[in-house]
Amino acid sequence: MTSLSPFQTLPMLIVEKVVEYLEGRSTNLRDSNLDKHNRNMKVLRPFLRVSEYWRAAALASICDNCEIRFDDSPKGYSVRYHALPAGFPFPQHRGETLVKLVFVRAPSMCDIYGRKFRTRSWLELDFPIFPSATKLIVYQTEDEPKSIFDGWPVRNAEPVDRNKAMVDFARSLRQLTPVATGVVMSFFFLGSTNKTDKKNKGLCNILVSELCRGKVARICVESRTGPALPSFKLNAISGLTCIKQGANMVSAPFVHLAYGNARTLRELSIRLEVEADWRTLIYGGTTAPAVYSSLASLTIKIVEIPYGTSWAAIEDAGPFPVLRKLDVTGEYPFEDGLFFSGNGSTLQDLNIPYGAVKKNIFGRFGVLERSGVTQMSSISLGPEGNEYEDRDFVAGLANDYIGGQARRMAEVATTLCLEYYTADTQVYNAILMARRTAIIQHLELRAFLLDAIHIIDIIKGLPSLVSLAFSIKGSVPNIEAIPASRHPSALRAKYHCLNNKFRKLVVLDDFVSNDDRDGMAREIAVVAVQIAVLCPNFTHVDLARDLRSVFSREIAWATVNPPFLPFVSSLRRLIYTN
């Protein structure tokens, strides 16, 4: 590969032409656009001859980011080389480079193996080995609900040992990307769709374990629908780091059996059946608890939980000693308490429905009170399925629970996302009460409808705040109609302490109808002008594109007219980040 070193000096225009030529989109490298680069044409002479060696070497060097699609075409597959971005330094290593195998219309692995791999290796096909690719993706499309393992071993061929065939297929994958350290396998179905076919249950285990024999250190297995992973006892496989069950619904005893005591599993995403609870997840109907010793991220989707059903709280953090992220969705999963967390908990990212608030997550069974946590990176409370039915109940608990816990959250989280449909004022007041001890840097208030003056109070009251995401309501039709009490000079007199850290405003427009969008844009401009008065480093606005024209027109008026002109000159350099 040392002969490819001159590529380091190739202009991007030539690189793009080479890629087009190799993909068959161009038949002549010598065109008028390349005349000014004649000094580099000596580097391209091997391409003009297109020897097989140079073709393979160029493909491997120019683009490790490649997609190989297996389909029902006469050839059986096609190769797509992703174009390099304009101006990209070439051919430096671009961090994580990947090769993606796409199984179109769900041809089974056995068909592909029987048609191509049994008689020819990757080297004999007309796409090369990718010596620098660090990641391999095996992806199955959803054009047809068919298992990628259906019909194994090879149909219409001599009988073969299915286990050996899977080992050979895994070795072929390792041969394609010899230095890849990460593998992602995303299947529409994982396991056989034929319920009577008991012979295919262990094939996925063989595939994963065989991949781990090479340099692969990270494997993610995703099954987007269909039955649960068949006989997926992977706790003895050292390289498996991530499992995503997708739409599969599994039982807590199955999770305990399949994933309990896994030594390297760091991320687990599952859908649990109705009768699941924490204790079953950990004990699985036995007396020996499972220990997820390396699990850092746990995502659980709890479906169809009837009112009154609850998850018993776990008071011991032993089963999850290094858990950093907990993401739970579902209705009423926390009637008897939220979660465990012993002293010294590592939990940093918490995403739960606000049903947990009803039992006070900072109370006896709460996450933060028992753990002694003083700082988290993120807390997110979202709505449950029937939030509108609980408006009166939530409003009645607002002062005792929601307001008090919002203040506590502001004291322990650097990123806080709250989504309520009631009790806006209580939460707003609670956050402001924590101004002296708050460490919030990023605040997101979804479905809150706040006035402009509330937003300014929050920015001014939280000295560490860097960004704010919000929905707005108000009665100020445009900037010209701002009352004198909210003019820049009046704001400077009232809020003499400025927030020097605040930089970004994020506008949430999910709850605004199409008829109100122009009015919303005008109101946001009013807020932006007042923020610019108080925050000299305010430069970024995340705003939907259809709101920008009205917003920009209002801002432009403010930057050239008194009484705003002396205060809002910084708005001329606003950066739109959406």
Q: pLDDT tens, 134-180? A: 778 777 766 554 555 554 444 444 445 667 767 777 777 777 777 78
pLDDT over 70 at 267, yes or no: yes
Q: Is the pLDDT of residue 539 over 80?
A: yes
Which phi and psi angles does 235 have, rounded to 5°?
-70, -10
Residue 43 CB-density burial (10 A; 0-12 exposed, 13-18 middle, 19+ buried) = middle
Average pLDDT for 25-45: 45
- CA 46/CA 34 separation, integer angstroms: 16
Rounded Cα distance between 315 and 338, Å, is 10
Question: What does the DSSP assignment read for 489-500?
Answer: HHHHHH--S--S
Domain boundaries, the chain: 2-59, 63-250, 441-578
What's the CA gap between 170 and 164, in Å, rounded? 10
pLDDT bin (cut points 50, 70, 90) of residue 362 is very low
Taking each helix axis from N to C end, the angle separating 12-22 and 52-62, rounded to the nearest 10 degrees, works out to 120
- The reported pLDDT for the residue numbered 310 is 47
Token reading at 17 = 């032409």
Whether 440 shows a pLDDT value over 60: the answer reads yes
pLDDT in tens, 474-487: 544 555 556 666 66
If you ran DSSP here, which 8-state letter would residue 423 be given?
-
- pLDDT of 174: 79
Mean pLDDT confidence for 553-557? 79
- pLDDT tens-digit map of 217-265: 777 777 665 544 444 555 556 667 777 766 556 666 667 766 776 777 8
- Asked if pLDDT for residue 292 goes beyond 60, the answer is yes
Residue type, 225: T
* 50/261: higher pLDDT: 261
Backbone angles phi, psi at 122, to 5 degrees: -60, -35
Structural tokens at position 194: 């034929």
Looking at residue 218, what is its pLDDT? 74
Q: What is the pLDDT of residue 387?
A: 42
More confident residue, 366 or 551: 551
Whether the predicted pLDDT of 379 surpasses 80: no
Kindly report the average pLDDT of the chain as a whole number. 62
The residue whose two tokens read 């000596």 is 42
Confidence band, pLDDT 50/70/90 cuts, at residue 62: very low
Residue in the block written with tokens 């580099």: 40
Burial 509-545 (b: 16+ CB within 10 A, else e): beebeeeeeebbbbbbbbbbbbbbbbbeebbbbebbe
pLDDT band at 467 (very low <50, low <70, confident <90, very high): confident
pLDDT at 72: 64
Give pLDDT, residue 333: 47
CA dist 256 and 398 (Å) reads 38
In the numeric block, the tokens 């090479």 are attached to: 214
Q: Is the pLDDT score of 77 beyond 70?
A: no
Residues 374 and 321: beta-carbon distance below 8 Å: no
Rounded to whole angstroms, the Cα distance separating 3 from 10 reads 14
Question: What pLDDT, on a 0 to 100 scale, did the predictor assign at position 477?
Answer: 53
Q: Kindly indicate the confidence band of residue 343, based on its pLDDT and cuts at 50, 70 and 90.
A: very low
**Side chain identity, residue 492:** R
pTM here?
0.62
Instruction: Give the integer Cα–Cα distance in Å for 539 and 532.
Output: 8
pLDDT of residue 517: 73
